[in-house]
Amino acid sequence: MHSEIMQLPVLSAQTLTNQASTTLVDNFGRAITYLRLAVTDRCNLRCAYCMPEDMRFLPTKELLTDAEIVRLVEVCAALGIRKVRVTGGEPFVRKGIMGLLREIKQTRGIEDVHITTNGVLTAPHVPEMEKLGIASVNLSMDTFDEKRFFELTRRNEFRAVWGSFEALAASPIPLSVNAVIMDGKNSDDVIAMSEQTKHRNFIMRFIEEMPFNGGTHKVVAPVWTYKKILSALQEAFPSIEALGRHDHAATAELYRIPGYAGQVGIIAGFSRTFCGACNRIRITAKGILKTCLYDNGVLDLKRLLREGASDDAVKEAIIIAVQHRFRDGFEAERHTHSASAAFDSMSEIGG
Ligand code: SAM
Ligand code: SF4
């Protein structure tokens, strides 16, 4: 059945029938309510786990236009998507991002809009984000050490990012900080970063490294698995308490250090412990639908739009794709990636 998935990108609008639906449910009974939307692949950092130093970004015409993005969000909302995470690449390098966020937020049916950002350009927008009612922000910072920040991101932007951290921590918008943990690079920052939650109410989340780096290096299995991260935390904070997940489909396992204002979290992105409850789809920077992070893209939405497909035809194509989902990230990887092929950069996919 999954060989059909790989043919979905060549489905044309004309081959689709006109079915209506208001809830997206996949072939394993999982309701799909959450869209991660990459609004650009461009970025002002060069994190080593995400892209090569000489990353080649897509030509502008390959990216979705604002009108295409808004239309796709409307179509997804009509299908039952309620939560959108705007990501990239770096969302704040896209021209007119605040206007686009407002349009997404105002889309009928969309309840929550979240943002994932690297913080280089974010601080000045925090007041407007508050006014817009942005539901939460994930800020990526793999270390709180300036010199190490430069080594990890290859850009000298620590102070700007720290400014965004402070602005977000002081705002009422719920904040999580994401750090991808790499052996010998920032693995000894885990405890120092957790300590920052002592007096500040944010969630410090540690992420297993995944292979989505545009071919810079092979990630066969990360040394810092969720188990290793947890045992480092338990060793440093013996009274740490497990809180479980924020909701059934959340990817982070949360923990609390007694007496600390914030929380810590662990995301097993490589070990894929959460696929059974996955409620997410993605639209990549070039308008490809992914129903699993580890698949190769299952439907060319941009092409459908640019060929003049009606909203009903686009909905129908999304429904078909969702009804052919892989069971989990391991099955997706087995079916779509040969051992020698490089994975795309997370900046194009939308992390
Ligand atoms: N530029 C923004 C940022 O960095 O927050 C948004 C896009 S970035 C691709 C989204 C998230 O993906 C970040 O938290 C980043 O740490 C994570 N990410 C990127 N490459 C990754 C990889 N190879 N493994 C695990 N997480 C990765
Ligand atoms: Fe840019 Fe985010 Fe990728 Fe870092 S993780 S290079 S900030 S897109």
Shortest-distance atom of ligand 2 to CA 51: 6
Mean per-residue pLDDT, 340-344: 81
Q: How far is the CA of 20 from the centre of ligand 2 (A)?
A: 37
pLDDT for the residue numbered 287: 98
| Mean pLDDT value across residues 63-81 | 98
How far apart CA 169 and CA 175 sit, in angstroms, is 7
Q: How far is CA 69 from CA 36, 76, 86, 278, 286, in A?
A: 12, 10, 11, 23, 11
Identify which of 275, 233, 280 has the alpha carbon closest to the alpha carbon of residue 254: 233
Report how far ligand 2's centroid is from the alpha carbon of 115 (Å): 13
Q: How confident is the model at residue 62 (pLDDT cuts 50, 70, 90)?
A: very high
Amino acid at 165: F
Which of 5-19, 94-108, 216-230 shows the lowest mean pLDDT across its residues? 5-19
Please give the domain boundaries of the chain with CATH numbers for all domains.
13-349 (3.20.20.70)
Is the pLDDT at 338 greater than 70? The verdict is: yes
What is the average pLDDT value for the chain, to the nearest integer?
Answer: 92
**According to the model, what pLDDT value does residue 305 have?**
98
**Per residue in 159-187, pLDDT tens?**
999 999 999 999 999 999 999 999 999 99
Mean pLDDT, residues 133-138 taken together: 98
Q: Confirm or reject: Cβ of 45 under 6 Å from ligand 2.
A: yes
Q: Are 98 and 91 in contact (CB under 8 A)?
A: no
Cβ proximity of 205 and 264 under 8 Å:
yes
Residue 123 is predicted with a pLDDT of 98
For residue 210, the ligand 1 atom closest to its alpha carbon is: 24
Q: Which of 277, 285, 281, 276 is nearest to 293 (CA)?
A: 281
pLDDT at residue 122, as a whole number: 98
CA atoms 270, 276, 277, 278: torsion sign: positive
Q: What is the pLDDT of residue 218?
A: 85
Given a cut of 90, is residue 25 above it in pLDDT? yes
- The pLDDT, as a whole number, for residue 29 is 95
Residues 6+ apart with CB under 8 A from 271: 208, 225, 226
349 lines ligand 2 (CB under 6 A): no
pLDDT band at 220 (very low <50, low <70, confident <90, very high): confident
Q: How confident is the model at residue 351 (pLDDT cuts 50, 70, 90)?
A: confident
8 pLDDT exceeds 80? Answer: no
Residues 6+ apart with CB under 8 A from 280: 32, 34, 35, 36, 249
* Least confident window among 36-50, 56-70, 205-219, 231-245: 205-219
CB atoms within 10 A of CB 337: 15
Backbone angles phi, psi at 220, to 5 degrees: -80, -45
Residue 13 has pLDDT above 50, yes or no: no
pLDDT at 1 over 60: no
Pocket of ligand 1 (CB under 6 A): 43, 49-50, 87-88, 90, 116-118, 140, 178, 180, 207, 209-210, 212-213, 269, 346-347, 351
List pLDDT tens digits, range 270-320: 999 989 899 999 999 999 999 999 999 999 999 999 999 999 999 999 999
Q: Decide: helix, strand or coil at residue 186.
A: coil
pLDDT in tens, 192-211: 999 999 999 999 999 999 99
Compute, in angstroms, the gap from residue 348 CA to the centroid of ligand 2: 10
Evaluate if pTM is beyond 0.75: yes
CA dihedral 106, 111, 117, 122 (to 10 degrees): 50
With a 6 Å cutoff on the Cβ, whether 90 touches ligand 2 is yes
CA of residue 269 to ligand 2 center, whole Å: 16
* Buried/exposed code over 22-59 (b: 16+ C-beta within 10 A; e: otherwise): eebebeeebebbbbbbbbbbbbebbbbbbbeeebebbe
Name the pLDDT band for 23 (thresholds 50, 70, 90). confident
Nearest atom, ligand 1, residue 212 CA = 23
Per-residue pLDDT at 219: 85
336: confidence class by pLDDT, cuts 50, 70, 90: confident
Mean pLDDT score, 126-150 = 98
Render pLDDT for 83-104 as a digit per residue (tens, 0 to 9): 999 999 999 999 999 999 999 9
Residue 256 CB neighbour total at 10 angstroms: 17
Q: Map residue 178 onto helix, strand or coil.
A: strand
Predicted confidence at residue 14, as pLDDT, reads 32
**Is residue 47 lining ligand 2, measured as CB closer than 6 Å?**
yes
- For residues 252-275, average pLDDT: 95
Percentage of the chain surpassing pLDDT 90? 84
